[in-house]
Structure 1
Amino acid sequence: MYRLRKHIIIFLSFSYSLVFYGQNIDSLENKSTDELFNLYESSKKIDDKKSIIKVFLGKAKVNKSKNDIITGYYVLAGLYDDINVLKYSDSIISLTSKNPNAYHPAYDYLTKAYFFQDRYDYVNAIDNYLIVNEYAKKSNNSELIVLANYSIGCLKRKIKEYSGALKLLKENLKYANKLKDNNHKLLSLIEISNIYTETNNIDSLSTYSEQGKKLSLVLKDSISYHHFLTNEAITSYNEENIQESIIKLEKEKQFFERKKESKYLLYPYFYLANANIVIDNKKEALKYFKKVDSIHQIEQSVSPFVKDAYSFLISHYKKSGNLEIQLKYVNRLIAFDSIINTNSLFLNKRIYKEYDIPKLNAEKKIIIATMQKKEHMSLIVLIALFVVLIIVSLILRHQYKKRKFYKNKVEIIMTTTTTTTTTINNSNNIDIPKDIVDEVLLKLEKFELDKKYLSNKVTLNSLAKDLSSNTNYLSKIINHYKGLSFSNYLNTLRINFIVSELKVNSLYRKFTVKAIAEEAGFNNSESFSKAFYKITNVKPSFFMKQLEENY
């Protein structure tokens, strides 16, 4: 379904190109809708694309440009893979349902159908496919009718109504050949190959699989190529060529694991489990049936393989007497059956009544019954999303201002002459004889000039001893005349030294924060970083990065 969705977006989108460098919201607001679409098309990151199109949509609403609004909603629906797909599709449906054209709202119902089908919600999927069919017939849109038929054909295969599915899919293949649409052709070949694999029609499978593999190579679609190889491996198992099937299935398993394509792994895992049962390797069979369960937990697949896997697991743990794990798989099988009953069985009934028996007018009755608009998201959810959007915007703006603040700090540091420390108080009201004060201040000046503060051995006691004073006098003098506690005085000298060196000494810029901390006399990088930030209001790593980039 994703491939079809991708081609529809390409078909309906504009051709734009321009390089996007992550402009902030303010700069985007100053651009026209054409310029914004240029940025969207050339941007590589999904989050950037979303941000750009949201600004595009906002401008379209201000300009009251219905076409641009529809385009914005449609592109956003294609950029998300969650409930937002439905939200944006419903927005277009609301705008266009009274005056439909060849594309809207038909393609928006198709988008919703794909969304539901990808999540195995077949009931809602068929509802939307039938609405697509109605709009396609009204507008005489043959391509859209074929798209809907293809999707119905896929669902028919899932419920094993193979003859009807083959008829629709072969019509699709014929249509794709006529249009020379290789992507659409490949999708039809895949589904036809799946049917012949499930019905064990080896000759027909071989014919369509070969076509599919050649086309996959032309389109450089490795996933589809290995899908055909997986079907061939399953056919080897069905033909009881067990060892051959295990070798083939192992290769396909490894490929899809590397690609992290979990939904494709269900088939190699299931048939590897069964192949190992045949050769009486129960341990390997158990391992692969557990992997089938793990895939189901991710994909919520409605494949009958899942039920077979749970049946084996329940039986195995019943025999081993492990009631806890047995109960776990019993519960999972019950949950799986509820999905089947909610979607697959009901779908089976609806396809026959709504799609295959037009002479009984069932399609008309169901379409009338299902034409009611889907309820919009509740007000609470909308408010919550709005609040989240505001919070995220505020956080981003705060981070931007914070970075700007730090850059300004760096500029100030770079343009300011760094000194050691200064005497800020010349009064002598500290109950220490003036001659002693003068002597200590003179010796402190020499201490600073000789850069003895760079030693990590310096303490209040050691310095008092070196200055022929005592800790009480020294502490009072530094507090009074330097305006700092001893530790802050020492740290200020060290940080000012390091800042000065980083400004002029390119060698220092190559050091790590840890190495610079040691040069400055700190015992560890943590205490150095805290002192650096306290004195300069900038983290040392940020300061060094700015120096490297800008100075």
Structure 2
Amino acid sequence: MTKSKTLSLLFLMYHIICISQVKSSLSYQEIRKYYETKELNDETALPAVNTFIKKAKASNDDRALALGYRDAVAYSSVVDVKLKFADSTIHAALRTKNNDLISDAYLGKGILYSFNLKKYQPALDEFLKAYNYSRDSEDEYLKHKVNYHLGNVKSYLGYYEEAIGHFNNSINYFESGSKRSANPNTNYNFKKGYFNILHQMTICYRNLNDSNISDSLIELGINLTRQQRDFQLEYSYFLKCKGILYFHKNKPNDAIYYLNKALPPILKKNDFTWASVIYFYLGNVFINNGDEKKGIAYFTKIDSIFNKHQFIFPEVRRNYEFLIEHYKKENNAAKELYYTKQLLRADNIIVKDFKYLSKKIFREYDRRKMDDEKERLESSKFLTVIIALVVVSCTIAILIYRRHREKVLTKKYIELQERLTIYKNKLESTNQISEDDTQLKKQIVSDEKAAELAKKLAAFEEKNQFLQKNLTCKKLAEQFKTNTHYLSTYINEVKGTNFNKYLSELRIRYITNLLNSDRKYLNYKIDSLAAECGIASRQNFSDLFFEINGIRPTDFIKMRLKEINNN
């Protein structure tokens, strides 16, 4: 028997022993002793947790059931499983009608969305529910925990001063709790909260260009976490911050040292967001030092993370500007276009989050806080002033959002104009069919057949035959007097996309050029534009236009008319 098989057998026996030892007749506290000292995400705790849950169900004890499901969230290692247990925690907590339990349940689900999945929209929904249930709570730990996570959201949005206000409200509570608590688990939670607040505050002060406070907080964090085995991830966060600080102080060697030292624990924890930030600053260091090849290698790692997780920090998006400029200098039009599309995708995600989160913050959290203040000061002479402040704050927020959206639309419009110019120049400089367009896997289509398809497709594009309504691959194959499979395979291999996507790109490119070159089309309705390029549905046309060009047709028309009128 191999060593690995022996270990697996011992592991299985251990599970059986655990299950047999944990009897439902034991008290909840006695059952929890079987797993409460285990590491988070350690699934060997689940047999005992399951016994805890079964006992709670048999006793119709919803409070205990909520606690049992919460433990299942903590010790499960798969995020999707954690989310299911989090939903069960909420359902059980709601049946207790205990606001503290309900608030904690919503908070737990919000943390899964924000920390594990980096999905800030659903995370904020859960945090706001947690806040509403914790408003009248006497549980100070719960209230400060909710306050901290709302601060995190504001920090992500870029409201650094407001985020610091949240953190200042809670930092002393967590720091003092870490010193006075004798219970190891409670002590750990207080310390973790304290270190996380310190970390977020360093980020806020750095973005507010207050390097003195940021530097002092980093040193404090490093000194507090350096020798603590349970907080090596937090230690690496502070090392990361120090590396970034040295980058801004133009000390490249120190920046490289601390960033590289911070990276391994972050990668081990699979914290892809901070890994991408480290890659971004390492790439910048090497670019600034003249090692462009190494810098670009780090930037492409960020692109891999973005493709995998569909998430990017706003400060990291400039990575794509470097990549676009790099491949523009190298005259690599394909990669320049690819990274331009990636930048547009990144901006779409960032703007979408910003729009949603900023509106939710002002509408649901700050407004609720103001309502609470209004109730407290209802008979006060300051009531009118408070209402005026709310109105002014909301107005400013709306103006900021509109200005930001206009800036983003302008940027996307300019980038689309550049792409249209590149495509026009490319068409003018190409007088014959590329050899690449006639080459296909020989076992599928012969060289002669590939050459014939290349000529027919070139004529198809040149004569705008793609404008035919209800055109399908089968119909086009019949027009070409060829096999549908051959045509589909040829388009996939040579054009690098499927038939429907190929047809959509031709149609959208055609109508975009008309809008850009002939003013009369700017007066057309969206339905008419869709019909003009062979697309039956108004919504489908708008969605395809946005997907391919990164901007809605209505926005493009407004920007184009504005440009023409200005000229």
- TM normalised by structure 2 equals 0.55
- Please give the per-residue CA displacement for 1:34-90, whole angstroms capped at 9, x wherever unaligned: 465443346678333223322432343233333332222111122234233332232
Alignment of 1:167-182 (within 5 A): 167-179=165-177, 180=179, 181-182=190-191
- Paired with 1:167 and 1:357, the residues of 2 have a C-alpha distance of 17
CA distance in 2, matches of 1:254, 1:143: 32
- Are positions 1:153 and 2:141 aligned together? no
Question: Root-mean-square deviation (CA), in Å?
Answer: 3.2
Contact persistence 2:137–2:143 (CA under 8 A): no
Q: Which residue of 1 aligns with 2:389?
A: none
Q: Does 1:95 align with 2:92?
A: yes
Partner deviation per Cα, 1:322-378 (whole Å, 9 max, x = no partner): 4444444344334333322332331122223332344764999xxxxxxxxxxxxxx
Distance 1:361 1:266, change over 3 A: same
* Residues 380-419 of structure 1: pairs in structure 2 closer than 5 A: none
CA distance in 2, matches of 1:342, 1:20: 50
CA distance in 1, matches of 2:65, 2:263: 44
Q: Secondary structure at the match of 2:34?
A: helix
Q: Where does residue 484 of structure 1 map in the other structure?
A: none
Check the 8 A contact 1:355/1:363 in 2, yes or no.
no
1:138 match: secondary structure: coil
> Which of 188, 192, 201 is the equivalent residue of 1:183?
192
Q: Which moved more, 1:295-304 or 1:142-151?
A: 295-304
Q: 2:68 aligns with which of 56, 69, 72?
A: 72
Using CA pairs under 8 Å that are at least 6 residues apart, name the structure with larger relative contact order, 1 or 2.
1
Query: 1:12-161 to 2 correspondence within 5 Å?
Result: 21-23=14-16, 27=20, 31-34=24-27, 36-41=31-36, 46-80=42-76, 81-97=78-94, 99-101=96-98, 103-118=100-115, 119-161=117-159
- In 1, are the aligned partners of 2:317 and 2:346 still within 8 Å (CA)? yes
Displacement of 1:197 after TM fit? 2.4
Q: 1:233 aligns with which of 243, 246, 252?
A: 243
CA offset digits 1:280-314 (Å, max 9, x no partner): 32112211111222333455433024421122223
State the match for 2:203 in structure 1.
Answer: 194
Runs of 5+ unmatched residues, structure 2: 1-11, 180-189, 375-567
Q: Displacement of 1:110 after TM fit?
A: 0.2
For 2:303 and 2:291, the matched residues in 1 are separated by: 19
Q: CA deviation at 1:219?
A: 3.3
Is residue 93–residue 105 contact of structure 2 (8 Å, CA) maintained in 1? no
Could you tell me which amino acid in structure 1 is paired with residue 65 of structure 2? I
Counterpart among 215, 223, 230 of residue 224 in structure 2: 215
| Distance verdict in 2 for CA 1:135–1:20, change over 3 Å | farther
1:29/1:160 Cα in 2 relative to 1: closer, same or farther (>3 Å)? closer
From the superposition, tell whether residues 360 and 307 of structure 1 become closer, same or farther in structure 2 (CA, over 3 Å).
same
Distance between the aligned counterparts of 1:305 and 1:212, measured in 2?
23
- Matched residue pairs, number? 346
Stretches (4+) displaced over 6 A: 42-45
Residues 200 and 235, structure 1, Cα contact 8 Å, conserved in 2: no
Tell me: CA distance 1:252–1:65, structure 2 relative to 1, closer, same or farther (3 Å): closer
**1:338 correspondence with 2:348:** yes
Q: Give the distance between the partners of 2:122 and 2:267, measured in 1 at CA.
A: 31
Partner AA of 1:66 in structure 2? D
**What is the CA-CA distance between 1:150 and the residue it aligns to?**
0.8
Q: Distance in 2 between matches of 1:49 and 1:287?
A: 41
Contact residue 24 and residue 51 of structure 2 kept, 8 A: no
User: Deviations 1:415-466 (Å, cap 9, x if unpaired)?
Assistant: xxxxxxxxxxxxxxxxxxxxxxxxxxxxxxxxxxxxxxxxxxxxxxxxxxxx
Helix, strand or coil for the counterpart of 1:40? coil
- Residue 173 of structure 1 contacts residue 185 of structure 1 at CA under 8 Å; is this kept in 2? yes
| Alignment partner of 1:288 is 2:285 | no
Q: Could you tell me whether the CA contact under 8 Å between 1:233 and 1:249 is conserved in 2? A: yes
In structure 2, C-alpha distance between the alignment counterparts of 1:290 and 1:362, rounded to whole Å: 48
C-alpha distance in 2, partners of 1:40/1:331? 49
Determine the structure 2 residue equivalent to 1:277: 287
The one-letter code of the counterpart of 1:23 is I
Question: Which has the higher mean CA deviation after the structures are superposed, 244-253 or 271-280?
Answer: 244-253
**Which AA in structure 1 matches 2:14?**
Y
Alpha-carbon distance change, 308 to 69 in structure 1, aligned in 2, over 3 angstroms = same
Between the aligned partners of 1:38 and 1:260, the Cα distance in structure 2 is: 29
Change (3 A) 1:309 1:362: farther
70 and 210 in structure 1: CA distance in 2 versus 1, 3 angstrom threshold: same
CA distance 1:258–1:25, shift in 2 (3 Å) = closer
Which residue of structure 2 lines up, in the alignment, with residue 350 of structure 1?
Answer: 360
Contact 1:28–1:55 (Cα < 8 Å) also in 2: no
For residues 368-383 of structure 1, the aligned pairs below 5 Å read none
On the 8 A contact 2:62/2:96 being kept in 1, the answer is no
CA distance in 1, matches of 2:328, 2:308: 25
Q: Counterpart amino acid of 1:111?
A: G
Structure with higher Rg: it is: 1
> What CA distance in whole angstroms lies between the structure 2 residues aligned with 1:243 and 1:332?
31
Kept in 2, the 8 Å contact 1:39–1:52? The answer is yes
Cα 1:82–1:304, aligned 2, differ >3 Å: closer, same or farther? same
Do the aligned partners of residues 173 and 30 (structure 1) sit closer, same or farther apart at CA in structure 2, a change above 3 Å counting?
Answer: closer
Structure 1 gap ranges (5+):
1-18, 365-551
CA distance in 1, matches of 2:21, 2:247: 57
Judge which range, 269-278 or 95-104, deviates more. 95-104
Query: C-alpha offsets along residues 181-206 of structure 1, whole Å, 9 cap, x if unaligned?
Result: 43322121111112222333221122
What is the CA distance between 1:107 and its match in structure 2?
A: 0.5
Range moving further from structure 2, 108-117 or 225-234: 225-234
The share of aligned pairs that are identical, in percent, is: 26
Quick one: distance in 2 between partners of 1:206 and 1:154? Answer: 20
In the superposition, the TM-score normalised over structure 1's length comes to 0.56
